[in-house]
Structure 1
Amino acid sequence: MKQSLAYANDRSVYNALNQNKITGRTIQELFIRKGIICSSDTDREELATYFSRLTHDFIDHKLIADSIGIIPRREKITSTEITDSNKTSLSYDNIKFKLKDLEKYLNENGCTAIYKPLAKEQELDITYTEIDYSKSDFQQMTTRHGKITINIEDNTAHIRSTQTKFINKIKEDLVSSIISLDEENLKRNVITLNDINDPNLRTKFILETIKNIQEYELEEITQVGIFKNNSLLEETESEDEREKIIANINDAHLKGNDVHLTSELRHLSDKGFYYVKVIATLKSIKTNLLYTVDIEFKDKENCDLFSYIVKHISEPKYDTATQTLSSYKFPRAPKMLEQIDFMDKLEESAKNALESL
């Protein structure tokens, strides 16, 4: 997990200081660290040329990287459940012991992990670094944050985690470690369609999930991601049909108003495409808040790695005379409780949809 970068050369420093993301104040701070005072009226390119020829240390590079680095987006959430048929193997202390062990391991291996005991759940907050060598020197390193939360209820451990490759691996190791407490009675459950090969049923799951979230009404589906797994269709195709195929599309993304009702999407569904992603707008029946949500299967071929996020929320505007709903305010980020309430009901809807297939 410990990662490092090659040392940025003079050209990289020069190019970085000429980017608009680097403010004049930042450039002055860099010079002051060298004991040099520069005027804000001095040409930026001249300053960049001079500074790039100086000796640079870690703090210089970090200051530049933090100024032009990539701002990580909010990640989707995924969930896993561990059920206890023995009703004695899962306890608050057992979970705490496993999370504290994981916290120690991560901190010893280049991450910053903080264990937090909350009112009804336990949380592990993780800060880690990802490196992308395809980007320029000062944009290769991105600091990211992830969370794993565990709540025990009705002899079931509900585990939610940030959906990224790194956090997924950490979560899977944690789940395996918890199950090792009692392998005969502890079972892992996830939302997956890996065993369902019918494209129509895979689409039905997505639609049933988004349409039947308790206390929320579906207003509109604005984007749909579809995928065609050719290996699922080979058994139904004749030799002549396979020989006629010259080119093939297996992945598409459609945008529009009520896109799921369009004839174009129906035509693609008839060709064996199924839903793997939906962005939709739902209205809370209680509050009239408008939720824009994104749900998808990251693993498109197998319909696995089910994840979701509340992208933003719009608050209602009411007519002052009639007190009726007139429009909506500019979207804002969801509050923690709003997101948790929605995710609880979304997960329940997904479980019901899966059971009905």
Structure 2
Amino acid sequence: MKRFGPSLYFASDKVIFDSINQRAVNVDLVRELLEERGIFVSTKTSKEELAKYFSRLTADYFDHQSIASKLGRIAKKERFTAFDIDNEIERDQIVDAVKEMKKEADDRGEVLNFDTSNPDRIVIEIAYDHIDYTKTELRQVQPRDAIIEFIKDTSGKYSVRNTHNNYTDSVVEKICKFLGEASGETISKTTVNLQSHPEATKRTAFFEALIKGVDNHELVTVTEAFCYKPPKGKLQDDDDDDNDEKELEDSPLVERVGLRGRAVTKSLVIDGLYKSGYYIIKVIWQVKPKISLDSDIFELEAQFSEPGDCTGFSYQTKRVLIFEEGKITDKTRHPKAAEEAALAQMIEQAAKSAYKAITGS
């Protein structure tokens, strides 16, 4: 059963202190909260002392809302997923479906905007609140942005790219439902998944082909690889002690194994995992553009969110390692929007090519 924490009815001093004293909250945010009350503090004062002082101040409902909104700004970067629409659909049908979705979003108090300036692309952005009762009280409501793109390819068909989470996936499903009602037929999708290919060797080969298949980029190294082995059924009672021992030895007591370092896919450890029936479900790797010797290095991530049947393929550009003075440094930066968009397209194409390579289709 999924567990939930307490919902917020009243923000006590302890609730406020615990919320702003978390490691994820930096001291600058606490100073900002105090400055809004006309209180200026020394840069030498610790965050814990500032949190203790602020939590003792009187706060009303609007103060609680302000604090919660500031704490809710902390959100990790989300992965993207994509699929191809097999049906022949018109651009106007997509726009009409998005307008229907906008009406529903308005009724829920969400903000949906869409951009149709590019004739080959429709971009949808939705500002919504993500509620997670497992967080501390003042961080249970987190403002987030959902991004959905309808992209027209050279054949005239559309593919869909969106942030990969339950909320955005449900919005995409509703838009596809509106499209199906408008066209009079169910929308058919083609996704990258290995559900019909349970062989461990094929599932690992998919990722091996993917990391080497990013167009116009060469593989630098693999820094993380996560392996998985589906659990067997419960052990059956048996009077034969030898059989019991053999079943225990053969049963995968460890379902998931994570390896971190450099060139982890070339280690002897992972070779042993392959022989034991494990296969890769998530990989983080680094690539470098071929066009320049002194270009920055991009760190990418791809995974199947459902490891058992290898569905829910998603990816992201995690960060960029800066190349400086003839070598790669420890300095990093966020990828630019243009870089992220280009790499997203290349990862999607590499995933399709990897799927074709292992299936022959």
The structure-2 alpha-carbon separation of the partners of 1:45 and 1:281, relative to structure 1 and needing over 3 Å to count, comes to: closer
- 1:4-153 to 2 correspondences below 5 Å: 5-13=8-16, 15-16=18-19, 20=27, 23-30=30-37, 47-48=53-54, 50-52=56-58, 56-57=60-61, 59-69=62-72, 71-84=74-87, 89-119=88-118, 120-153=120-153
Tell me which amino acid in the other structure corresponds to 1:348.
Answer: Q
Q: Partner of 2:222 in structure 1?
A: 221
Instruction: Look up the equivalent residue of 2:143 and give its one-letter code.
Output: T
Counterpart in 2 of 1:339? 340
Contact 1:199–1:274 under 8 Å retained in 2: yes
Q: How many residues align?
A: 330
**Structure 2 counterpart of 1:296:** 303
Could you tell which deviates more after superposition, 338-347 or 66-75? 66-75
Alpha-carbon RMSD across the aligned residues, in angstroms, is 2.9
User: Matches of 2:40 and 2:186 in 1, distance apart?
Assistant: 70
In the alignment, residue 332 of structure 1 is paired with which amino acid? R
Give the C-alpha shift of residue 45 in structure 1. Answer: 7.4
Q: 1:16: how far off?
A: 4.9
Q: Is the 8 A contact 2:304 2:313 kept in 1?
A: yes
Instruction: Give the 3 Å change call, closer, same or farther, for CA 28–18 of structure 1 in structure 2.
Output: farther
- Structure 1 stretches of 4+ moved >6 Å: none
1:321 equivalent in structure 2: none
TM-score (norm 1): 0.82
- Structure 1 residue runs without a partner (length 5+): 33-37, 319-325
Kindly provide the CA deviation profile for residues 79-109 of structure 1, in whole angstroms up to 9, marking residues without a partner as x.
Answer: 011023xxxx411111111111112211211
Structure 2 Cα separation of the partners of residues 71 and 11 of structure 1:
20
Rounded to whole Å, the distance in 1 between the matches of 2:317 and 2:17 is 40
The aligned counterpart of 1:175 is 176
Answer whether contact 2:299 2:320 (CA < 8 A) is retained: yes
Question: CA offset at residue 246 of structure 1?
Answer: 7.0
Partner of residue 309, structure 1: 316
In structure 2, the residue corresponding to 1:260 is in which secondary structure? helix
Is 1:258 matched up with 2:255? no
The CA distance in 1 between the partners of 2:148 and 2:257, in whole Å, is 32
SS at match of 1:177: helix
Partner of 1:192: 193
Aligned letter for 2:134? S
CA distance in 1, matches of 2:182, 2:79: 29
Instruction: Give the unaligned 5+ runs of structure 2.
Output: 1-6, 236-242
> Following the alignment from structure 1 to structure 2, what is the Cα–Cα distance between the partners of residues 208 and 147?
28
Task: Provide the C-alpha distance between the structure 2 equivalents of 1:352 and 1:45, rounded to a whole number of angstroms.
Answer: 53
Does structure 2 conserve the Cα–Cα contact (< 8 Å) formed by 1:134 and 1:140?
A: yes
- Say whether the 8 Å CA contact 2:81–2:313 is kept in structure 1: yes
The residue identity in structure 2 corresponding to 1:107 is D
Residues 1:263 and 1:11: Cα distance change in structure 2 (over 3 Å): closer
What TM-score results when the alignment is normalised by the length of structure 2? 0.82
Distance 1:5 1:106 in 2: 25
Give 1:284's aligned amino acid. P
The alpha carbon displacement at 1:247 in A equals: 6.7
- State the 1:49 CA deviation: 6.3
Change (3 A) 1:46 1:220: closer
8 A Cα contact 1:76 1:308, kept in partner: yes
- Over the matched positions of the two proteins, sequence identity in percent amounts to 21
